[in-house]
Structure 1
Amino acid sequence: MGRPFAEVIGDPVAHSRSPMIHKAWLADLGIDGDYGAARVTPSQLADYLAGRRADPDWRGCNVTLPHKQAVLPLLDHVDPNARRIGAVNCVYRGAQGLHGCNSDVGGVAAALDCVDLRGGRAALIGAGGAARAALDYLAGREVDRIALLVRDPAKAEDLRSAVAGARVELWPMDRCDGAMSGARLLINASPMGMEGAPAMPPSLLACVAAHAPGTTLFDMVYNPLETGFLAAGRANGAAVVDGLAMLIGQARAAFQLFFGRPPPEDAEARIRALLTT
């Protein structure tokens, strides 16, 4: 056998910081392995995974846009939490073949566990795999109401039943003012504002600015680190949490699944310094 390796797959994927994180931890722990990035289009996904199955050195992959939901039927086993959420962001070799799990929920927890949310309201932008993970986390934090801002509410009806214990409302983007009214937490779980993706529309940023005072803003986008969403909140009195908190949090679980050892204890502080200097 050769050198063990893992990777991140998506389309696009050039923006990903995951290789920097995992390579740093491999070096810190003296593990002779590697971690890369591969652009895989939706039409290539099934064949790509089939090819990786046959490579004994491949330990698995992180899964990013747009594959977090499409990858489920290609796996041999999906963890119950990921099945419930309806999205997988980590694929690894297990006793039943290729296993899928969702470490995004742990990443959201790393970003938001310190925020008081019980009985409050939250507004969430997006309807993809990252949004599903955030919904699952928020339901576990006993949030009273979650307003979900989506492009087409009719196509997102299944998200109403994706979580138990929280009231999920679907709002179109052009009614952001009503969706954000009274929210204690605003989350961007969409790719808007990400490098190479469309910017967040001025009308949506205006809503964010209007409802920012006294709230917490969390952006899952980490490249760039200071997005228009976070800037609008910061300038109007919100506490802001950037996307690195989630990225590093979810990477911890994935690294151990791929390489059999946890990252160093000071992982977050050192990786944040690496990625921001």
Structure 2
Amino acid sequence: MRRSTVNLLGLLVAAFAVFPVVWMVATSFKSTPEIFSGGPVPFPRHPTLVHYRTILTGDLIPGVTFVDFFRNSVLVAFATVVISGLIALLAATAVARFKFRFRTSILVMLLVVQMIPLEALVIPLFLMIQRLGLYDTLASLVLTYVGFSLPFAVWMLRGFVAAVPVELEEAAAIDGASRAQIFRRILLPLVAPGLAATSIFSFIVAWNELIFALTFLNDQTRYTLPVAMTFFFGRDDTAWGPVMAASTILTIPVLIFFLVVQRRMVSGLAAGAIKG
């Protein structure tokens, strides 16, 4: 009885979490009259792909399609994941393996940065981006998102690096392995699960962010997907069909990236255990 109750509660929580996503996908296949007709049935009576054709084949602005905005988001997201992952792994290794002055202060400052509301940083970061000459470039977004991802990534990877026994590295050094070989063959496989988890966080941050993308970009051809979706919201009405279709497409890369990284997370655990 207790197990059945727990399973039932788990199903209710899962249904509560999945219901908005199901409604979004179902609405993207409804015609405009059916969307506004209301009713308790979330699934479309007469499915149509007209909203997907609208956003994929039409120009949101003259000469620029939804695919162009999609490409911008992919470039920004993957650049953020690679750069933040590399810097965070090196920083976490330094913090976990080496003793130096102000090490604790640096870790505390990383937590303090996480507590600051993002909205409070818009103006300072905007002025910094202008002085660096990066205004109206995708590099400004990558730099900003890397900065937001690093505190969480360093803290998480620090725990993974600290959990790796130092004796493994010492044994490899005795066998003649260089520092680069120890890092690549011993430490990296064991830290791969944490690196996969932080990459998911970095990807979601870069993929869904709107405020800084809207502030740092002036050229509409460089807009990312969250900013491009604002074209469907008018002063008097909203094109809910294209909004739901665009939101569905916006969700697919996150799911694919999570599934790929999750597989790498498991393989990284296994590889690390074998090498250990």
**TM-score tier after normalising by the smaller chain length:** under 0.3
Greater relative contact order (CA < 8 Å, ≥ 6 in sequence)? 2
Please, what TM-score do these two structures have when normalized by structure 2? 0.26
Query: Higher helix share goes to which structure?
Result: 2
Please, what TM-score do these two structures have when normalized by structure 1? 0.26
Query: Higher strand share goes to which structure?
Result: 1
- Which is higher, the Rg of structure 1 or of structure 2? 2
